[in-house]
Amino acid sequence: MLKPLGDRILVQVDEEKEQTIGGIVLANNAKEKPQTGSVVAVGAGSQTPEGKTIALTLKVGDKVIYDKYAGSEVKYEGTKYLVMHEKDVMAIVE
């Protein structure tokens, strides 16, 4: 498994569901691609200037909305994830 470092989290991106109208598959507008996903792993936390570790707020299972350009894509065993800093998460969907 992938373990994010520091204040990073690992997000499994929600799949874009294709819309079908009368049997024709319509690709989604690129501008509206999903920016939501589920947290599948979290780092140990951020570090104060004095070296103390502060646990992250997010936890595995949280469904999150994140900035459009947040994170770097990583592939692991065929699945695509985003590794991003917790601060790039805008909100939790409760």
- Asked if residue 43 lies in contact with residue 9, where contact means CB atoms within 8 angstroms, the answer is yes
The single residue among 19, 28, 47, 79 that binds its own copies, judged by CB under 8 A, is 47
Q: Kindly report the CA angle at 88 between 53 and 18, in degrees rounded to 5?
A: 135
- The partner residues of 8 in beta bridges, in order of sequence, read 85
State the binding string over 54-73 for its own copies (x if CB under 8 A, else -).
x--xx------x-xx---x-
Cβ proximity to its own copies: between 24 and 52 the closer is: 52
- Asked if residue 18 lies in contact with residue 28, where contact means CB atoms within 8 angstroms, the answer is yes
The single residue among 23, 29, 50, 61 that binds its own copies, judged by CB under 8 A, is 50
The single residue among 8, 11, 13, 39 that binds its own copies, judged by CB under 8 A, is 8
